[in-house]
Amino acid sequence: MSVHELTAMELRDRIAAGQIRSVEATRTILERIERVDPTIGAYLSVFPDRAIRAAEAVDRRIAAGERVGPLAGVPVAVKDVMCTSFGTTTCGSRILADFHSPYDATAVRKLLAAGAILVGKTNMDEFAMGSSTENSGLKMTANPWDTSRVPGGSSGGSAAAVAARTCFAALGSDTGGSIRQPASFCGVVGLKPTYGRVSRYGLVAYGSSLDQIGPVTQTVADAALMLNVIAGHDPADSTSVNEEIAPASDYLEKLEEPVEGLRIGVASGFNAGADPAVQEAVSQAVDSYRDAGARIVEMSMPHLDYAIAAYYVIATAEASSNLARYDGVHYGHRTANPTDYIEVYSKSREEAFGKEVKRRIMLGTYALSSGYYDAYYLKALKVRNLIRGDFVRAFEQCDAICMPVAPSTAFKVGEKADDPLKMYLSDIYTIAVNLSGIPGISVPCGFDDAGLPIGLQIIGPAFSEARLLRIARMYEARTDWHTRRPMGVK
């Protein structure tokens, strides 16, 4: 088996045992990026010299018998929405094309402290606003399974990089499904943790009450390994949950133990809008749990139908506020030869923000404006509480809920680019999780007739990641979908 075909866990263990050197694995990945990424376009920046130096340092420590971290020597990537003190942090936007952060995001710092080799930063929809990575202001990313199709978004670069085996794991961010949906489209595992489980310090904000960093990996075990590294309280982040309230676990400790007396919830009628192939694959996944001894519970979640409307009011309102700082003065793009301060502000933003970002800023500003705050924003917050209540009641009857990740498999590049509403509906099954602040995971569960991956979404109560990963692993262990590879990038 080639080095790049190993999982992150397998590589980590072989490096620790001295069977593979980190330099060898890192060079393999860098050579693969050079060969494969011109077709896929997953990376915005690559750090070959820095990665080789870091890998050499890991190899020296292992040879000297020193203790190393849980990701020692494993090449990984991060979505370019997380600050790094080296390279640029662009958020996929021309307004930050030359921005150099003075510090590392907490999640990045934890990866580096664990010995991970950061090989590059991945492409994304501009400021994480999109479902296809077509909204990147810097380049296109293709789906490794079919390069005429999108990889999903906004963490499309991270999912495509893992699927193309140009890294062993990656970090993404999830505001309304932006880890789970591209993971589904690219046939990999994507975990959105509970809001507050992973520090958001150094994550450039889109929707502050919705954003959450999480891993994109080849297997559930790799997701657990990555979460072990990045989870935990961070005093630099006021939304990070205190360990005394919800302590982080060792998510690998009991991963292989099936959940006894498992109850799987299925929201009645909620899957009806999905393509037949998606419905069939998810139905068969639920049957797999039934065959494993789980009890299937049908439940009503009446307010999920309003999730899209509530989300796009709340998210755009927060985006309008968060993106006000990009004014052509403090940092980022500045227009040439302005005549006055108003022109500095207006022309800088007009020139460097993309169409979708402008659309969401305008929607959010409208929702927050005088006379409309109560009618739209306040009402959306009330709907958000009703959706939270649906999940609370549901988890009194079941341990986890299964549903599709997306209503379809990966769609063609440009297919939905001119229809924002159609694009927004790509996230219809994922958005409610973010509104409720609870964890969700996407695991491969099949393919459609075109050979495109389908993802199963499993949702759990707040801070139930340990059990959620075990439930996901129960399904993964009974199937081989996660072992399939895109033919075009072998």
d(CA 228, CA 251): 6
Q: Which of 79, 121, 192, 347 is catalytic?
A: 79
Measuring CA to CA, how many Å separate 427 from each of 132, 235, 403, 404?
11, 32, 12, 10
| Structural contact between residues 117 and 55, judged by C-beta atoms closer than 8 angstroms | yes
Q: What is the DSSP string of 24-64?
A: HHHHHHHHHHHHHHHHH--EEEE-HHHHHHHHHHHHHHHHT
Sign (positive or negative) of CA dihedral 56, 57, 62, 68: negative
d(CA 251, CA 469): 8
Amino acid at 195: Y
d(CA 237, CA 208): 11
Q: Which of 178, 184, 408, 442 is catalytic?
A: 178
Cis omega before residue 249 (within 30°)? Answer: no
Residue 118 neighbours by CB distance under 10 Å:
22
Judged by DSSP in three states, 75 sits in: strand
Cis omega before residue 154 (within 30°)? Answer: yes
382 is catalytic: no
Helix 355-368 vs helix 307-322: crossing angle, to nearest 10: 100
Amino acid at 299: M
Residue bearing tokens 């997701």:
223
Judged by DSSP in three states, 481 sits in: helix
| Structural contact between residues 354 and 126, judged by C-beta atoms closer than 8 angstroms | yes
Q: Which of 154, 184, 199, 442 is catalytic?
A: 154
Residue bearing tokens 């075909």:
5
132 is catalytic: no
Nearest to 209 by CA among 434, 374, 432, 364: 434
Residue bearing tokens 């505001």:
175
Amino acid at 382: K
Nearest to 120 by CA among 171, 83, 77, 184: 77
Q: Which residues contact 266 (CB under 8 A, 6 or more apart)?
A: 286, 296, 297, 298, 299, 401, 402, 403
Judged by DSSP in three states, 403 sits in: strand
101 is catalytic: no
d(CA 192, CA 295): 25
The residues annotated with a catalytic role in the active site are: 79, 154, 178
